[in-house]
Structure 1
Amino acid sequence: MPNVAGRRGFSVQQSELAGTVALVTGAGQGIGAAVTRALVDAGAVVAAADRNPGPLAVLADELSGRPDAHGPVHPYTLDVTDAAAVESTVDLIERQLGPVGILVNVAGILRVAPVVELGDQDWADTFAVNTTGVFHTSRAVGRRMAERGGGAIVTVGSNAAGVPRTGMAAYAASKAAATMFTRCLGLELGRSGVRCNIVSPGSTDTDMQRALWQDDAAAAERRVIDGDLAGYRTGIPLGRIARPADIAEAVAFLVSDRARHITMHDLYVDGGATLRA
Structure 2
Amino acid sequence: MPEHIPQEPGEFTGRTALVTGAGQGIGAAVATALAARGAHVVATDRDAHGIDELAAAHRGAITPRVMDVTDHRAVTTVIGDVVRDHGSLDLLVNVAGILRTAPVAELTDADWADTFAVNTTGVFHTSRAAAAHMTARGSGCIVTVASNAAGVPRTGMAAYAASKAAATMFTKCLGLEIARTGVRCNVVAPGSTDTAMQRSLWADDEAPQRVIAGDPETYRTGIPLGRIADPQDIAEAVVFLASDRARHITLQELYVDGGATLR
* 1: CA distance, partners of 2:154 / 2:57: 36
Partner of residue 190, structure 1: 179
Partner of residue 16, structure 1: 11
Q: Does 1:86 align with 2:75?
A: yes
* 1: CA distance, partners of 2:182 / 2:99: 33
* 1: CA distance, partners of 2:258 / 2:174: 27
Q: Does 1:229 align with 2:216?
A: yes
Moved over 6 A (4+): none
Within 5 Å, give how 1:179-218 maps onto structure 2: 179-216=168-205
Q: Does 1:126 align with 2:121?
A: no
The one of 46, 50, 53 aligned to 1:51: 46
The one of 92, 100, 107 aligned to 1:103: 92
Which stretch shifts more, 88-97 or 251-260?
88-97
Deviation at 1:215, TM superposition (A): 1.4
* 2: CA distance, partners of 1:44 / 1:229: 44
Q: CA-to-partner distance for each residue in 1:51-77, whole Å, 9 max, x for gaps?
A: 00011111111122xxxxxx7100000
Q: CA-to-partner distance for each residue in 1:138-188, whole Å, 9 max, x for gaps?
A: 000001100100100000000000000000000000000000000001100
* RMSD between superposed Cα atoms in Å: 0.8
Instruction: Give the residue type in structure 2 aligned to 1:124.
Output: A
Deviation at 1:98, TM superposition (A): 2.3
Identity of paired residues, percent? 67
Q: CA-to-partner distance for each residue in 1:126-145, whole Å, 9 max, x for gaps?
A: 00000000000000000110
* 1: CA distance, partners of 2:10 / 2:87: 18
Instruction: Give the residue type in structure 2 aligned to 1:15.
Output: G
Partner of residue 25, structure 1: 20
Instruction: Give the residue type in structure 2 aligned to 1:189.
Output: I
Q: CA-to-partner distance for each residue in 1:191-214, whole Å, 9 max, x for gaps?
A: 000000000000000000000001
Which secondary structure does the structure 1 equivalent of 2:58 belong to?
helix
The one of 237, 243, 247 aligned to 1:260: 247
Aligned length: 257
Partner of residue 4, structure 1: none
Instruction: Give the residue type in structure 2 aligned to 1:61.
Output: A
Q: Does 1:40 align with 2:35?
A: yes
Which secondary structure does the structure 2 equivalent of 1:113 belong to?
coil
Deviation at 1:92, TM superposition (A): 1.0
* 2: CA distance, partners of 1:19 / 1:119: 46
Which structure 2 segments of 5+ residues have no match? 1-6
Which secondary structure does the structure 2 equivalent of 1:230 belong to?
helix
Q: CA-to-partner distance for each residue in 1:214-255, whole Å, 9 max, x for gaps?
A: 112xx1100000000111000000000000000000000000
Which secondary structure does the structure 2 equivalent of 1:100 belong to?
coil
Partner of residue 58, structure 2: 63
* 1: CA distance, partners of 2:106 / 2:255: 30
* 1: CA distance, partners of 2:58 / 2:200: 27
Q: CA-to-partner distance for each residue in 1:32-62, whole Å, 9 max, x for gaps?
A: 0000011011100000000000111111111
